[in-house]
């Protein structure tokens, strides 16, 4: 009788242990399937490539929803510095990114220089002015670039024009834009005679022609750093997307849009 009691007792303990394990597994599954939203602050020039990557990522990770905050890297950096919610920062300029690293908002170990770009001169598709190179900009009535203080493409553009000894002759004609996509829009709508944008922006537009490409020696290297915000509310999911942006599938998408891999 005593043996039967002990056997019954052991079976009950085993049952309770198994039930507990099952309950824990269910809780783990519930946590893994919980919907998480990530906010990615990214340079405006990344919009098309990241939208493609987002669709691919969310198919593989349906519990993670990616929301983008696109804009000029300088403006995005200031937003994050002032406490705006963000999980990752994807900048079009190293100095804006480095400022967040220096301020302790991004840990250096959680950052990488991921892709590069080129600077090009674009004109409206139907332009009859005859601008075929940077040296022809004297023929333009208006030229658009991003605001150099906040838009990396604008900073690179001014730097390049200065090194080509063109800036002083066209400075009064410059129409400044809030980001590189606005420059592109100005050219597409014939509000200006020419604009300087990234090659990736020019390639997505059917309304502009690339007239010239700036020599890489005329401006700082165009590098896009990516990093995880230190105080992200979703560190595991943020790291998941951070790693996903570096995989072969994502890099192929970046290259499809004209970006250059750096690693």
Residue ranges for the known binding site for molybdate are 45, 73, 153, 180, 198
Q: Which two tokens stand for residue 37?
A: 């939203």
Please, how many CA atoms are within 13 Å of residue 238, restricted to the half-sphere of its CB? 23
Sheet holding 88-90, edge to edge: 64-71, 36-43, 88-90, 223-229, 106-116, 260-261
Beta carbons of 187 and 196 less than 8 angstroms apart: no
Q: What backbone phi and psi angles, to 5 degrees, belong to 68?
A: -105, 145
From the list 225, 224, 223, 228, the residue with the least C-alpha distance to 110 is 228
Distances (CA, A) of 127 to 131, 139, 141, 163, 209: 8, 12, 13, 26, 9
Element (H, E) at 68: strand 64-71
From the list 256, 148, 159, 247, the residue with the least C-alpha distance to 200 is 256
Q: Which two tokens stand for residue 170?
A: 């066209």
Q: Which two tokens stand for residue 202?
A: 């020019």
Please, how many CA atoms are within 13 Å of residue 77, restricted to the half-sphere of its CB? 26
Q: What backbone phi and psi angles, to 5 degrees, belong to 230?
A: -55, -40
**What is the C-alpha to C-alpha distance for residues 134 and 159, in angstroms, rounded to an integer?**
13
């Amino acid at each position: 009788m005593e043996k039967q009691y002990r056997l019954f007792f052991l079976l009950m303990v085993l049952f309770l242990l198994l039930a507990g394990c099952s309950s824990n597994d269910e809780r783990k599954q519930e946590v893994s399937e919980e919907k998480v939203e990530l906010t990615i602050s990214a340079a405006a020039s990344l919009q098309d490539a990241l939208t493609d990557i987002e669709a691919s990522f969310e198919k593989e990770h349906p519990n993670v929803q990616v929301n983008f905050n696109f804009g000029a890297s300088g403006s995005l950096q200031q937003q994050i510095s002032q406490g705006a919610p963000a999980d990752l920062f994807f900048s079009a300029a190293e100095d804006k990114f480095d400022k967040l690293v220096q301020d302790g908002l991004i840990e250096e170990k959680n950052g990488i220089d991921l892709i590069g770009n080129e600077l090009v001169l674009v004109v409206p598709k139907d332009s009859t002015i005859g601008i075929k190179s940077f040296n022809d900009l004297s023929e333009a009535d208006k030229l658009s670039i991003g605001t150099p203080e906040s838009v990396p493409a604008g900073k690179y553009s001014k730097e390049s024009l200065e090194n080509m000894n063109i800036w002083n002759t066209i400075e009064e004609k410059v129409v400044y834009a809030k980001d590189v996509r606005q420059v592109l829009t100005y050219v597409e709508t014939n509000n200006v005679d020419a604009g300087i944008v990234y090659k990736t922006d020019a390639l997505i537009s059917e309304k502009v022609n690339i007239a010239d490409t700036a020599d890489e020696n005329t401006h700082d290297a165009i590098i896009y750093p990516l990093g995880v915000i230190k105080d992200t509310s979703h560190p595991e999911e943020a790291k998941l997307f951070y790693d996903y942006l570096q995989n072969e599938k994502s890099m192929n998408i970046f290259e499809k849009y004209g970006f250059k891999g750096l690693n």
